[in-house]
Structure 1
Amino acid sequence: MDFTECYGDTVSSLAAAARSSCGRRVRRLIRSGCSVESRDNRGWSPLHEAAAAGSRDCVREILTAAGASSGESYDYVNSLTHEGESACYLAAQRGHLPVVRLLLKAHSDINQLTNDLSCPLYAAVDNGHREVVELLVSRGAEVNRAHTASCWTCLHQAVYKGHSEIVRLLVDVCDLESVDDHQISPLFLAAQYGQKECLEILVNAGADVNTCSADLATPLLIASQEGHEACVALLLDHGADPNTACSQDWPQLPIHAAAEFSHIGILRRLIAVTDRACDRGAAMVSPLYVAVQSDRSESVQLLLEEGFSPDAQDCTQTLDLRSPLSLALCRPARKPYSESTKLLVAAGARLREEDWFHVFSTDQTGLLQLLLRYKWIPPPHTLTSDPPGAARHGRTAVTLRELREMICVALSQPQFAASWLPLLLQAGLEPTLLLHPHMLEQADGDVLNYLLEFVNWWTLPPALKLILDRRRSDKTWEQCPHFDSAPRLSHLCRLQLRDWLGPDRLMRTDAVRQLPVPSPLHHFLTFRDIPEASYTHPRPPTVTERQQSTHQHRHVL
């Protein structure tokens, strides 16, 4: 720390002359008896000032005087400031090549360490003084010593600063695999900071491209994380392994880092060379997880386009995550759903029971509308197994398991049925699947009336009729007047037509318009004449109530 501005009077006249590189004045002051030993508040002598100023003449005059007066010029030339800086260090730090030569000739200690573990060579490397570095190396300076608190060598520092010419000089004399306190090599450092030219020099010199740091990270991982595309390409071209696990916690690969930070060019390159076992393999983690976690929709889109499964693998044991879609639905978003959610659903991601809770436990219908845009509900009798859903008009069929879990969750949330019921029935859900005691007992009266309009209420099972009779007597349900009589033939006809065409085809296509019936009937045949229930806002269920509700109605089908 330089205090001369505050304490200028502590600098001797000889030191001031040396600082100004005034050789004549230095010589005159020495002859007049001024001491070369005087020091200022920083511990600087006139020799330090002359070396820092780069005045070869002043340094020579001062060294001559020091040797003539005391005969101990060796001790003097190696004297240190309060921060442990020698004259040689100050000259090397500033790139004063002639002064460094003169000080070395006067037996300056070439490897003298400062208080912060630097040395003349490290200082010259740090500041990019190639000629000084070349001189010090030729005079035997220690090139592999660890410096600073991080234990970096001169080669580490040269790479970090991007001094490629110095790196080219040092690779012939330094240990290429020397590591710091985090087991980071110079090549790792070049990949981390995007020093492509330095990286190329190290690779061509034989440095290990698959070296690992203490936390198992590789140069390819760190370059992928930081977005250094040229470094990634160079490493891959020289044998860097994209399938080496780079974490002690879970099998992280470079592709995960590229996906997490949405470095699309790098991600595209790594997709081509990474083993696809990471996509669905047991004990592995799909890069879709990290892309969704970091809300990188560009990465999600590219991975899906390149064939990565939207369902990935169950990572409950590894990361406590069931699927990328479950993760996307758990993440807060300004919209009812994130862009990643849309991409996963559009790609056919399967919904689990906990996923359906995000759909039905709210009066917001945006997420349900998204799902119904990309999924269609086939008739239950056609679902005899649980294969991947068949596609129709760009939509994927809900599987048997998805349908079961969807109904279970929907029936556990009757307080929100005014929001989700019309959408499900208009999307083609078989309404009889919702004729469950819990639904009839808990649903709002308007919701109940809307549901009964889609069925033959005259043929309901006796157990369900008892529930309706009780609600009517308790005045918790005010039925539509026509429910007291048998359905009209027109209603039975439209029920039969719905069954014949299939609910999805009836409600979501123009099949009815192609029938030889008067156009005024189209509205009636598609159940558009039924007024939807108005939503009343109940108290939102707590997480505990949701869990209890799920458990209670898990096996309703």
Structure 2
Amino acid sequence: MHMINPTGVVLQGMDFTECYGDSVSSVAAAARSGCRKRVRRLIKRGFSVDCRDNRGWNALHEAAAAGSKECVQDILAAAGGSSRGCSAYVNSLTHEGESACHLAAQRGHLAVVRLLLEAHSNINQLTNDLSCPLYAAVDGGYKEVVELLLSKGAEVNRTHTASCWTCLHQAVYKGHCEIVHLLANVCNLEALDDHKISSLFVAAQYGRQECLEILVNAGANVSTQAADLATPLLIASQEGHQACVDYLLDHGADPNIACSHEWPQLPIHAAAEFGHISVLRRLIAVTDRACDRGNGMVSPLYVAIHSHQSKSVEMLLREGFSPDAQDCTHILGIRSPLSFALCRTSSKPYSESVGLLVAAGASLSEEDWIYALATDETDLLQLILKHRWIPRPEALTRDCSVPHHHGKAVLKLQEVRELLCVALSQVHFAARWLPLLLKAGLEPSLLLQPHMLEQADSEVLNYLLEFVNWSNLSPPSKHILDRRRAEKTWEPCPHFDSVPCLSHMCRLQVRSVLGPDLLMRTDVVQQLPVPSLLHDFLKFGDIPEASYTHSPPSPLSNRLQGYRSTHEHRHVL
């Protein structure tokens, strides 16, 4: 028969008489439906069993895929008398490289697989995508087919798929526990894929606890490492598979193996980063605390902050991890957990992690104070002052401090020094931060520095002077104020030309005796034998705050860079 295709080329020797519109032959169509009588009738009438459709499927492929043992028997019997012979026919492949045995195994047709193997089907024939009958049966979870193929000598350690997975990898991935049990007795337990991932690693990654137990009991290595050094414990911690984590730890998995080429990552870091709190709790108990403060290590606080996992931050701090941790500038470019949390905050209010770190006593550096003072927003400064206590003036004369005061951490001498340095460099924001600092108990005389007196707005300067005895300022300070008055850059309050009244002198004395911290931040004034009407006065509540009128500040990154490049320390203490 000659046919001409649309291009005009003559096609010779191709018999299309046995094809329907969908290109399936008569026998194949009958086999697909499992109609044995029709298959026999067609074969008897001389219809071909080897005619292929556009997928390369013949009648045997259709019968095997349909699971029709009787049709397979009849088709094989008919093929045995053909010129090709039964052995060649039973191993014929589709365009995808699939044998009839593969199609039957893929669908769990046990009797058909047995029949095809008896007809000498190649048990290890690979498809175009590197599958085989055993891999197909494993993937489908057909235990009896797997048992049959194993009993007939199917190769168990070959790699399949582009990722080089073995049948054991796939069985674990699919969670077919009974098949994993079968394979664990005959497979190489330490076979690795192209990323050096073992089957046990796959079990930990996908939370296949029962499969994990089978592999561990069979002798698989619980601390195997992938190409990137990740361990099963790390991946289980990352994915939050609590039962797998517990089982691995109970069976010898080491939580202190470094799991990254780039930095010493541990399973505890993975749990903290992804917020798996119950897993994190278990790992805290068994992880070497050297990761918290040790040189060359990275505290898990850093990764928890990076991923905005405030619950992880809270647990780590509660369990004794340091809010300061180690300086990771050389490893990750990060100086401290607090500085990292501040720079990770993209919008106000500041992240919960910032509050947790401040409350836990994280040390405040000059750069941290920039975030609090070099802005027209006061939320961070209020947060700091909520959890930290400004020490009394006498404590600032020596390099020591009370660790806690009224249940709150006390600012260290160095922290106060850096606070003042930043404050004096950010005088144009003083209308915002000055009232908060004075009401928190900062000694006002510490701010009576030349730079403050020269640069402060008129209202800010007046507010500051209301907290001191303006009549006994030092000669240099009076000289600056006199000059500013003459230049009309400062308009003092009218009463500054007079000696302070007795009531003001009394409250200055009360402040001095009680300490500005107790007076301003506690209810001690309510306990004094004075009329209640004086309580607000004694706490300087009658002084109006300066108004803030500056234009919006430049981006914080610019202010930080400018501070780093131009700031010189002022000796304020």
TM-score class normalised by the smaller sequence: over 0.9
Number of aligned residue pairs = 552
8 Å CA contact 1:409–1:550 kept in 2: the answer is no
Q: Give deviations 1:448-473, integer Å, cap 9, x for gaps.
A: 10001112222223333232223222
1:364 to 363, 377, 390: 377
2:215 to 202, 210, 215: 202
CA distance in 2, matches of 1:337, 1:37: 74
SS of alignment partner, residue 81 of structure 2: helix
Equivalent-residue separation in structure 2 for 1:337 and 1:167 (angstroms): 50
SS of 2:409's equivalent in the other structure is strand
- How do residues 248-263 of structure 1 correspond to structure 2 at under 5 angstroms? 248-263=261-276
Using the TM superposition, name which of 201-210 and 373-382 deviates more: 373-382
Counterpart of 1:402, as a letter, is: E
> Could you tell me which residue of structure 2 aligns to residue 449 of structure 1?
462
Contact 2:313 2:356 in 1 (8 A): yes
Q: Which runs of 5+ in 1 are unaligned?
A: 1-5
2:422 is the alignment partner of 1:409: yes
Matched, 1:531 2:544: yes
1:495 alignment partner in structure 2? 508
Equivalent residue number for residue 143 of structure 1 = 156
Aligned to 2:239: 226
Could you tell me whether the CA contact under 8 Å between 2:391 and 2:401 is conserved in 1?
A: no
Q: Within 5 A, what are the aligned runs for 1:297-376? A: 297-332=310-345, 334-376=347-389
**The 10-residue stretch of structure 1 (307-316 or 44-53) with the greater mean CA deviation from structure 2:** 307-316
Give secondary structure in 1 for the equivalent of 2:489: coil
1:293 paired residue number: 306
1:167-218 superposed Cα distances (whole Å, 9 cap, x missing partner): 0000111000000000000000000000000000000000000000110000
- Structure 2 residue aligned with 1:169: 182
Check if 1:431 corresponds to 2:431. no
**Structure 1 residues 552 and 470: CA distance shift in structure 2, 3 A:** farther
Aligned to 2:75: 62
Distance 1:208 1:445 in 2: 74
Amino-acid identity (%): 72
Equivalent position of 2:13 in the other structure: none
Q: Show the 5 A alignment for 1:155-194.
A: 155-194=168-207
Query: Counterpart in 2 of 1:398?
Result: 411
Unaligned ranges ≥5, structure 2: 1-18
TM-superposition CA deviations, 1:496-523 (whole Å, max 9, x none):
2212211101111233333333433332
Q: Distance in 1 between matches of 2:399 and 2:94?
A: 79
- SS in structure 2 at match of 1:69: coil
Take 1:389 and 1:210, find their aligned partners in 2: how far apart are those partners? 46
Alpha-carbon distance, 1:321 to partner: 1.2
TM-score norm. by structure 1 comes to 0.96
Structure 2 partner of 1:278 = 291
Query: 1:97-152 deviations in whole A, cap 9, x for unaligned?
Result: 11111111111111111111101100000000111111111111110001001100
Root mean square deviation of aligned Cα: 1.7
Q: Distance in 1 between matches of 2:203 and 2:90?
A: 37
The 3 A distance-change label for structure 1 pair 71 and 115 is closer
Pair 1:548-2:562 in alignment? yes
CA contact (8 A) 1:292 1:328 kept: yes
- Note if contact 1:411-1:553 (Cα within 8 Å) is conserved in structure 2: no
Contact 1:415 1:538 in 2 (8 A): no
Aligned to 2:548, what secondary structure does the other structure show?
coil
Tell me if the contact between 1:418 and 1:533 (Cα under 8 Å) persists in the aligned partners: yes
Contact 2:328–2:336, Cα closer than 8 Å, also in 1 = yes
Shift of 1:8: 4.4
- Name the residue aligned to 1:92: 105
**Cα gap change, 1:319/1:151 in structure 2, threshold over 3 Å: closer, same or farther?**
same
The answer to whether the aligner puts 1:76 opposite 2:99 as a matched pair is: no
- Measured in 2, the distance between the counterparts of 1:37 and 1:545 equals 81
* SS class of match (1:292): helix
Tell me by how many angstroms 1:7 deviates. 7.7
Contact 2:518 2:524 in 1 (8 A): yes
C-alpha distance in structure 2 between counterparts of 1:261 and 1:418, whole Å: 41
Residue 28 of structure 1 aligns to a residue whose secondary structure is helix
Which stretches of structure 1, 4 residues or longer, exceed 6 Å deviation after superposition?
none
User: Does the CA contact (< 8 Å) of 2:376 and 2:552 recur in 1?
Assistant: no
Secondary structure of the structure 2 residue equivalent to 1:247: coil
Question: Structure 2: how far apart are the matches of 1:334 and 1:544?
Answer: 16
Matched letter for residue 295 of structure 1? H
Post-superposition CA distance 1:42-78 (Å, at most 9, x none): 1100110011011111111111111112152221111
How far is 1:551 from its partner? Answer: 4.7
Task: Judge conservation of contact 2:376–2:553 (CA < 8 Å) in 1.
Answer: no
CA distance in 2, matches of 1:7, 1:22: 17
Equivalents in 1 of 2:371, 2:81: separation in Å? 89
1:355 maps to a residue whose letter is D
SS of 1:415's equivalent?
A: helix
Structure 2 equivalent of residue 420 of structure 1? 433
Structure 1: distance between partners of 2:465 and 2:487? 19
SS at match of 1:307: coil
CA contact (8 A) 1:300 1:343 kept: yes
The alignment status of 1:475 with 2:475, answered yes or no, reads no
Change (3 A) 1:497 1:550: farther
TM-score normalised by structure 2 residue count: 0.93
Residue 14 of structure 2 is matched in structure 1 by none
- From 134, 142, 148, the equivalent of 1:121 is 134
2:491 aligned with 1:464, yes or no? no
Distance 2:187 2:382 in 1: 64
Q: Following TM superposition, by how much is the alpha carbon of 1:300 offset from its aligned partner in structure 2, in angstroms?
A: 1.3
Q: Structure 1 residues 216 and 530, CA, compared in 2 at 3 Å: closer, same or farther?
A: same
Cα distance in 2 for residues equivalent to 1:77 and 1:32: 22
Equivalents in 2 of 1:29, 1:423: separation in Å?
Answer: 97
